[in-house]
Homo-oligomer: A and B are copies of this chain.
Amino acid sequence: MPYYIGDVIKDEKRLVARTPEKFRETGIDVKLKTVVTDVDPEERVVRLSDGSILTYEILVMATGTTPFLPPMPGVDLEGVFTLKRLTDAIRIKTYIRERQCRKALIVGAGFIGMEMCEALRSLGIETEVVHRGTMPVNRWDPEFLKVIMEELKRNEVSFLTRVEMQSIEKGKDFRLRLNTNKGPLEADLILMALGVKPNVRLAAGMGLQIGKTGAIQVNFAQRTSLEGVYAVGDCCEVYHRISRQWVHIPLGDIANKQGRVAGANIGGSSLIFPGVVGAQSFRIFKLEVAATGLGEREAAANGFDPVSTIVWGNALAGPMPGNTQVGIKLLADRSTGKLLGAQAVGEAGAVSRINTLSCALWNEMVLDEIGYLDLAYAPPFSSAWDPIHMAAQGLLRQIRGQ
């Protein structure tokens, strides 16, 4: 009888009450609130913090990630949060409600930071992003970052740049004070959104190979370097089809796919995880922001000769009511004309176009063909020449010096 060890849902009483039972029906013993201290892969034994042991034939590492917290005084104060688990979200919501939170600082300007701007503003909370650099989400082109910054401004999110944090302490006008090189910043809530690192303590302790990325190495069947041990989700690496490197991209859809691949292989079917192309998206207020494939730096680091173009086109056909502009950036290899990456920003039609371009990347399409790709044209949805076509043809002309 397989075990499932986890604490994912420990604070949600209804789920805790239902889940172990639900699993038991299918012959799975779910042990919640259980900590594994170490694993002995020779004996195939897992040791728990209460001193007991569990034996296994197959072990699946799904240890996820931990949000990065700077070693700084005050990060343990009440009102300082990270956002990773469902329980984090519940604790933040409870805190906001019970403490009548008026102002929040978001430290970090990645995905979580950007998404939380909307969540906090929609509750009427004054919101300020505090960032070490000068621009958010650096995966995107500066031209698109300007659009994101305007969207933040339009929604009254302030954005403080080049901030170095020093400490957090009790505040005066608000509950907390973040001391920085730019002076003290006060707020009732501070969200530390500085990224995550894979949890590999157990994996490293039992001798699993850890990749250059710091995450657990796996193969295409999600097997680790030790027989009988699989790894899935944010704690392990994933194969990037464009760079042909093993990378660490902690995203929910990738984790789901890896789980299913591991499950099939454990269950006796052969199933290969074909890898990813780096598709990603988030929404910030009204704006869709999406990207796929490689950026200039990664492309060059992998030996490609990247050239790029940005076009702005109509998300719908020109004269349609409610039309908005969508910006598409395409990046291709100069010598082969192969698509290497794409980015898109707009109030509509950005994510859908990145999905189509992800499929193009998956299949190693060249610009010539992308410029003539057959899309489902109708005026409510696009122009006869979609911005995808225009960008591909424009980039091709650029490569050919026309």
Contact = CB atoms under 8 A, between A and B. Distances in A.
A288 B381 contact: yes
A8 to B, nearest CB: 15
B283 A378 contact: yes
A380 interface: yes
A5 B81 CA distance: 70
A274 B352 contact: no
Give the copy number: 2
A358 to B, nearest CB: 5
Contact of A373 (B283, B362, B385): B362
Interface in A262-302: 273-283, 288, 290-292
A72 interface: no
A289 B351 CA distance: 19
A66 interface: no
Contacts of A373: 358-359, 362
Contacts of A376: 279-281, 290-292, 351, 354-355, 358
Contact of A385 (B253, B283, B288, B359): B253
Contact of A355 (B275, B280, B356): B356
A282 B382 CA distance: 11
Nearest to A402: B269
A253 B375 contact: yes
Interface of A: 241, 251-257, 261, 273-283, 288, 290-292, 349, 351-356, 358-360, 362-363, 365, 368-369, 372-378, 380-381, 384-385
22 contacts: A252-B377, A252-B384, A253-B374, A253-B375, A253-B384, A273-B372, A278-B374, A279-B375, A279-B376, A280-B376, A281-B376, A281-B378, A282-B378, A282-B380, A283-B378, A291-B376, A352-B356, A353-B355, A354-B376, A359-B359, A360-B363, A363-B365
